[in-house]
Each structure stands twice: as structure tokens, then as C-alpha cells.
Chain A
């Protein structure tokens, strides 16, 4: 069962990496969260039934773990660690795309934890129904929230562009 689980997780591990990128301040924290998510997935795996897609279940457990995670000591990230976080976007060959992705991550990091989860699920092409299932809210509410988040992101991104120009 462990091999089967590891195979499934390995095929979809990008989900965990993206969640870690959204909720962690530095590389060490990201490593810890990756391991915590992996452990929670493994512990919850026996209760996974194929009623929902494996990826939907993975999003649910990963986001639950990241948002409800208990940090024993609140560590204020040092400036160099914040830079490290920004740099931690996937290593891309396209510099323009990398810059845009960094800007997007910076903008998303200014949102609340819940908003970050919703916009990530939206950017990942999950349907409103799937987002509603993961978050535990109605589809109508998902729509309302996505519109609000988009407006917020637009304002943040416009400020960023103004700063660059």
C-alpha cells in the first residue's frame, strides 16, 4: 500500500510544492511543511475513497495541513529569508515568465490564508464545485470570493507595476 501511495503522491507532488510555496517563509519551513503534508496524506490515505478525485483529496489535505498547522515558535523571517522565498519559484528558463511568476507570488502572499487557497485552486483550473467541496462553502460563495480576490490582486499588481515603472 505504501508503494501505491508513494507512486500516486509522486505523480501529483507539484500540488504539495505549490501549497508549500504559498504558505512558507523560507526553505526550512517549506521542507517541514512538505513532510507534514506527506505524513498527513499517508495517515488519511486509508479513509480516502474514490468518491472524489485523488488530486481533489490531495488539495484538501494539503491546504488543511498548511492552514491549520501549529508552529511552536513564531519566527519572524529575516530579510534574506524573504528574498529566498521569492526566489523559490520553480527554476524557469524563461526570465520574463519567471519575473511574472515572482510578481504573482508576491501579490498572492499579500492575501489572507483563505484567499490564497481559493485563488490557488482557481488558478489550478479547479471547478467552482471542486473549490466549494474543498473549502466547505457554497458554489455561489466561491464565485463571489473569486471576484473579490481578483479585484484585490488587480490592485496589488497595479501597485507593483507602478513601483517598477
Chain B
């Protein structure tokens, strides 16, 4: 197969796609109405469920610790940060503005937003761990003020706390690497391919 033939093969091979469209105008309108099958719609649904769960946890936490303002504020802060996180996530997945621009700009924009999101996720995880640990420790201190706590029990609680922190940290690492890490790396690879080749051309006389 000669390279000169490629265009010819491509165009003749796709001629019937042009002449016999697979979807009518009515079908296209219908596809726009029933677009819930797409992957974006599925992820959006997951985000909505997570937002609902966060709100429920936030309300329950604040309600339960209403008498202890420090802990109630911690729950409020935690929920607020989580909601900002979901808003960022939603923005990345649904922002269509970048898709109308050229590919290099779109990739650069997405890589920037994704990078911030990943960084924010790590920060959020640490913040959540700090807040969660504070809640447990404050609870423990208040308990010790009311009655004497055995040293063994204290060590047991602290050990559970430590294990819990390690598990959460590992889970977040896996979650980010598996779910978003590959996608982020693919985007960076595509962007580098465009940017790198551009600089190569500039260097060439």
C-alpha cells in the first residue's frame, strides 16, 4: 500500500458515511434528550450522591455535637471543604468552554485545573484527618474530665486513630492514582507531545 493511496482509501472508504447518514435529525434531537447513558452523566450522578451523603453527615454531625460548639464547627468546616471539592470536581468534568478552543489550549487548561484538583485533594485529606483527629481527641479530653480513663483504653484509642489515619492516607493515594492519576498523566503526555514538538520546530533553523 503506497502512502499516496492513503487519502484515496480514506475518502472512498468513508463515502457511504457521508451519503447515508446513520442518524436522522429527529434521532439527533432524541439523543440530546436521552444523553444519560454517557460516562459524564454517570460520574455526575456519583457526584450528586456523594454531595447528598456529605450534606447528611454534616447535618447529623452538627446536630449530634450541637452542645459542643468546637466539634460542631469542625463538622461544618469539614462539610464545607468537601462541598468545595465536589464543586471543583463537577467543574472539571462539565466545563465545556475549553472544548471549543484549540486542542493545545484545552489540554493546558485541563492539566492546570486537574493539577490543582489533585493538589487540593491531598490538602483536603490532610485537613480532614486533622479535623477528625481533633474531634476524637477533644471528645477524649472531655471524657477524661468527667471520669478517669484507664491508660490502656487511651493507648487503644490512639492506636485505632493511627491505623485509621494510615488506612485513609493509603486509600486516597490508591484512589487518586487509579481513578484520576492515569487520566492526568495521559493529558500531560498529550500536551507535552504538542508543546515539545512546537519547541523542536522553533529550534530548527
CA distance A161 to B6 in the complex (A): 15
A13 touches which one: B22, B37, B183, B187 (CB < 8 A)?
B22
Q: Which residues of B contact A103 (CB under 8 A)?
A: 1
Interface bits B113-152 vs A (CB < 8 Å: 1, else 0):
0000000000000000000000000000000000000000
B198 touches A10 (CB 8 A): no
Q: Which residues of B contact A115 (CB under 8 A)?
A: 193
Decide yes or no whether B201 CB sits under 8 A from chain A.
yes
Interface bits B2-28 vs A (CB < 8 Å: 1, else 0):
010111011111101110011111101
B99 touches A44 (CB 8 A): yes
B39 touches A36 (CB 8 A): yes
B201 touches which one: A68, A94, A138 (CB < 8 A)?
A138
Q: With A10-B28, A39-B38, A161-B1 known to touch, is A64 a contact of B99 (CB < 8 Å)?
A: yes
B103 touches which one: A11, A14, A60, A100 (CB < 8 A)?
A60
A35 touches which one: B1, B37, B198 (CB < 8 A)?
B37
Q: How many whole Å from B45's CB to the nearest CB in chain A?
A: 11
Contacts of A87-105 to chain B: CB distance below 8 A: 89-92, 94, 97-98, 100-101, 103-104
Chain B residues with a Cβ under 8 A of chain A: 1, 3, 5-7, 9-14, 16-18, 21-26, 28-29, 31-32, 35, 37-40, 42-43, 93, 96-107, 110, 179, 182-183, 186-187, 189-190, 193-194, 197-198, 200-201, 204
Using A135-B103, A138-B201 as known contacts, list a sample of 19 further A-B pairs with CB atoms less than 8 Å apart, ordered by residue number in A.
Answer: A10-B25, A17-B17, A32-B37, A35-B37, A35-B38, A40-B96, A64-B103, A67-B107, A98-B13, A100-B1, A104-B13, A112-B189, A112-B190, A117-B103, A123-B11, A124-B10, A137-B197, A144-B204, A153-B3
